[in-house]
Structure formats: structure tokens, C-alpha cells
Amino acid sequence: MPDTADRPAPTGATKRSIIILPDSVADQIAAGEVVERPASVVKELVENAIDSGAGRIRIELEGGGRTRIEVSDDGCGMNRDDALLALDRHATSKIREAADLFGVTTFGFRGEALPSIASVTRFQLATSDETGEGTEVRVTAGRLDHVGGTARRRGTTVAVRGLFFNTPARRKFLRSASSEMRAALNAVAILALAHPEVGFELKVDGRPRLTVQPGHTLEQRIGAVWGPDLGRTLIPVHGAQGAFQIDGLIQRPGEAKPTGRRTQLMVNGRPFRDNFLLRAAEAGYRSAIHPGDRPTMFLHITVDADQVDVNVHPAKLEVRFRDRIGLERVVEDSVRQALSHLESSVQVSEWRPVPAPMDRVVDGATLFEDPSDRVAPTASDAVPALASTDFAVPLRQLFDSYILYEGSDGLVIVDQHAAHERVIYESVMAQLDGAEAPAQHLLLPLTIDLTDEELDVLERHENTFRTLGFDFEPFGGRTVKLNTVPNPHPRFDAMTCFRELVADLARGRFGGWANQLERFAASYACRAAVKAGQALDEEEMRALLVRLFATRLPPHDVHGRATLVRLSREELERRFGRR
């Protein structure tokens, strides 16, 4: 290794010696990693309270947390020796050796939070364990001022005042009191969602802002934290595969909006951020929401502690999984499965599909029969099977657009266009995966005139059109000749559908879809489906509903709208004053 000791310093530079930083400076550097704003302090102190086994936690803020933050709990507390040791850097009750870092199941394992906070605040700690002997410790800017006894029941109270009072360069970057308060409130809300077994009370300048009781269900807690209106738009999700188990709540596709969504990921009770997992969850919504919509999601991942590394981010906001691909797959599949239930469209307690004797649907050619349906359809796992003899109710059509029938406890209303759109979409996706497309050869070919731009996109997407069943060839100039067209139902207008698909491609109307084949199939399904205003007889309606309930996502069309809604008997009786 070359000797650089006598190397001259560059012109204009000052030669500097390597030194060991004083503890006070090191603590302030560590504080910069741990304490960014009042919300960071709140998060660290509340996590410590949860780790202590607290059943109730009280948080008080003044000046958005810039003036005062106080967190009290009824956890296990500490004796005097532990209270003093907790203020030393790298002090922890969770880690004994390096291998323990890869099996951490608690929050406060880093051993720097309390000393880092104490180094940039006026810090006060009051605690008592099961012996009932209380201890009070006061620290100013990292300097121990007082140690003594105090009267306190079991638990711990930490109060910090004047955040960054000794580091004005950092304090000036704090935002307004209202902004800091909102960040702290969000930090408490996230932890309250992750731990429904713990009660939380947050006061801001003496006024209650968040109060949740212990023992709430996840649905109740989300309603209390995020609001009942949002809570009513959520449905449960459950799934397990390999080492992972997924639980939580996701938003109905029809309620998703481009803005204003809320998302939260948890692993073994620990909040974390991961945009790739959120994208995997959104992939489960594929063909159920409009491109650009962003659904609210709360997902909790349960996995063995040795399968996840939580020690990869200074503020513990990110984690690393051993089987990342497997996790993304189970998240997507779990969301997809949740959306296949009717509850993802409307809130119902019970429902049933509309089965019909298969000989009535298969032997007689109906409007919605498809050659691929010569084998009885296989319903998704979410659709309960019923014998045809268990169902005998009439179907009615309203406004030549909606199909009505009596469900188990109410009136079910089906949008015939949306329902057929879902049926055709899933049929086309199967065709694009290699299944044979139902098509018919035209005795008299159709000729269509296109623009130069439309001819270009038709040439680029020729294989996709042929997969759908459109067989065409040039016919001179800007004209093409259609020899074969799809045959999704007898009323299908092949020329109009072909022309509109080509125009959509040429004008870039497929923007926002991640997969080109999916967006093409969705556009085709919308064009090919039976339209609102077309009269159907009872056999046609029954055949359509049978095929709808055999799809993977019967409650949704390809735009995220509901294919059906339900008016419950209870609601009818309330409207007529019977309840």
C-alpha cells in the first residue's frame, strides 16, 4: 500500500487529522438518523410502549410536538438500573448476539432511540416496574441532570420538550405546528391499525384527536382511524401460500379513485413501506378497476421472523424478504381471490348464482352460448355451487338493460352489458393464451376503408386481431377485406367492432393499461358485448347469468364498475316503514 503520510495537501486545502468524535456529537449524528421531526419521536416512543406489553397508551402533543411530546403507558416499566442503562447508546433488552438481528420480533431493538432523542431535547423519564419503586431521570441535551425516586404505578412516561433546541440548524427545518401534528397523528394511526389489541389516546393541545379502545376488530379500528365512510368501502382479504400468510382489507373496485387512497403494509405487526408490494396488490385488481384508479389497501403479512430482515433502514421503514418473488405472488393471488366474492361489489350477507339445467343451456343454441361452453363451466372457488333443482325463480328484464331476479334475501339487479363484458373479456384472455376463438367465415367478405394511421396500427397488431378471429387482407389502396370475424353472439356487429378497435389503437385510447393484450381484450369485450337497450328473452338472460357466475371476477366489468347490485329485503322494509 503506498505511503501517503508525507503526500502534500492539494493547493488551497488544509491538512486534517483523523479524530474520534465526542459522544455528544456522535449522539447528535445518530439523532439525525432517528429523529427527523416530532412524528419520529412519537413513533419511537410508542413502539417502545408497545414492546413493553402496554394495553393502553396515551400521547400528548403541544405545538405539533415541537414544544412538548409526552407518551405514557401501562407496560412492564423499568427499575432504576435499567432506566439509566436505557439512555446509553446500543443498550437493548432484545439483542444478545449478531444472529438475533435476523429474528427480531419487536420494535425497539436498535438501542439508539432514547439516547438520540435525549441528546436533542429536554428529556424526562418516569418509570416503575412490578415492585412499585418509581424512578425519575432528567436529561438536557444528552447531559444527565437528575436521578431520583417518584410515585408512579407500573409503566413508563417519557416527556420531551424543545425538540432540537440545541441544534437550531435542524429546528429551522421543522414545518408548521399543524403540519407536524398531522404527521404525528398519522404515525399513531398506523401503529393503532397494526395493534388492535392496544388502546390509544392522542391529545393535541389538550383536545382529544384520536381515541380507540383495545379489542376492536380490524374493521372497527379502520373505521375509527380512517373514518367510517372509508371503512364501509373495504372488504376482507385472506390468503396463504408457502411461508406467507396475508390478511387485511382492500377497497371495492367501484370505490377506487385516482387520488386520496390510503395504503399500509405490515409484517408481523411492524409497519413498513414497499412500493413493489403495493404494485403486486394492484396487479390483483387487473381488469377490475379503471386504469389510473388507486384502491385503498391494508395488508398484514405473517411470516417466520427468520424469513424477513427488519434491520435494513435507519428508521425501520423498509424490510427485506428472503423470498421476494413468492411474497409478491401470494399478495397478488390473495387480492384477486378477494375480488372474486360478491362482497367486492356490494355488501351482502348471503347470495347465490343463477344455475339452470345444463341441457337447456347447452343443447339449445342461445344468444350467449359459446363453443367453449360445451363443457359445463367451472365456477370460481368463491361461487357456491347449487344443484339446478334448488333454483326456480323467474327472470325479468327492466328497461331492456337490467336483469332482475329474487336472491336469497333481496332483489338482485344485473347490468346485462357489464355482465356480458366480463364474460367476453375472460373468454378472450383464454383465447390469447392459446384457446380456440369462436369465429365464422363470411360468404360475402366485408370491405373497410381506413386511414394511413389506422393501416399502420393494424399492421403492427395483425397477430392480435387474427387471434381474436379477425382474418383480413389488403384490398387495394387503404381498403382491407374481412374474410373471417369473431362470433361471440348472433347480434354481434363485426364491422363496427373492428372499425372501433382500429380507431382506438390509432388514437392511443389504451393508455394506462400495463398489459397491451389485456387492454385490447377489454376494449374488444366492451365493443362486442350485448348493449343496453337490447331486449332479451328469459333463456338468453339465464344463459348470460350462468356464464357470468362461471368467470373469475363475476362482480366487476373490465372498467371497475359493478356487474350487479342487490337491494336487500331489510332495505325494502325500511323504505316502506316496516322497520
One domain for residues 75 and 152: yes
> Tell me, what CATH number does 308's domain have?
3.30.230.10
One domain for residues 251 and 312: yes
Three-state SS across 491-553?
CCCHHHHHHHHHHHHHCCCCCCCCCHHHHHHHHHHHHHCCCCCCCCCHHHHHHHHHHHCCCCC
One domain for residues 150 and 126: yes
**Statement: residue 516 has pLDDT above 80:** no
One domain for residues 208 and 176: yes
- Give domain status of residue 517, yes or no: yes
One domain for residues 87 and 186: yes
- Give domain status of residue 553, yes or no: no
One domain for residues 263 and 161: no
Tell me the pLDDT tens digit for each residue of 228-243: 888 888 999 999 999 9
- Give domain status of residue 175, yes or no: yes
- Give domain status of residue 356, yes or no: no
- Pairing of β 479-486 and β 439-449: antiparallel
Is-contact 437 431, C-beta < 8 A?
yes
Lowest mean pLDDT among 51-65, 87-101, 139-153, 546-560: 87-101
Tell me the pLDDT tens digit for each residue of 156-205: 999 999 999 988 888 988 999 999 999 999 999 999 998 989 999 999 99
> Tell me, what CATH number does 472's domain have?
3.30.1370.100
Q: In total, how many domains does the chain have?
A: 3
Q: What are the Cα distances from residue 244, in Å, to 80, 104, 230, 282?
A: 41, 17, 27, 18
- Rg of the chain over Cα atoms, rounded to whole angstroms, equals 32
At CA 419, angle to CA 387 and CA 404, rounded to 5? 65
One domain for residues 109 and 33: yes
State the residue range of the domain holding 86: 23-212
One domain for residues 451 and 482: yes
- Select the more confidently predicted residue: 93 or 191: 191
One domain for residues 51 and 67: yes
- Give domain status of residue 362, yes or no: no
Is-contact 125 83, C-beta < 8 A?
yes
- Give domain status of residue 269, yes or no: yes
One domain for residues 105 and 70: yes
Residue 440: what pLDDT?
Answer: 82
Angle between helices 218-226 and 177-194 (to 10 degrees): 170
- Give domain status of residue 82, yes or no: yes
One domain for residues 255 and 158: no
- Give domain status of residue 542, yes or no: no
> Tell me, what CATH number does 45's domain have?
3.30.565.10
One domain for residues 110 and 82: yes
**Arithmetic mean of pLDDT, 522-551:** 86
Q: Using 50, 70 and 90 to split pLDDT, how confident is the model at 380?
A: very low
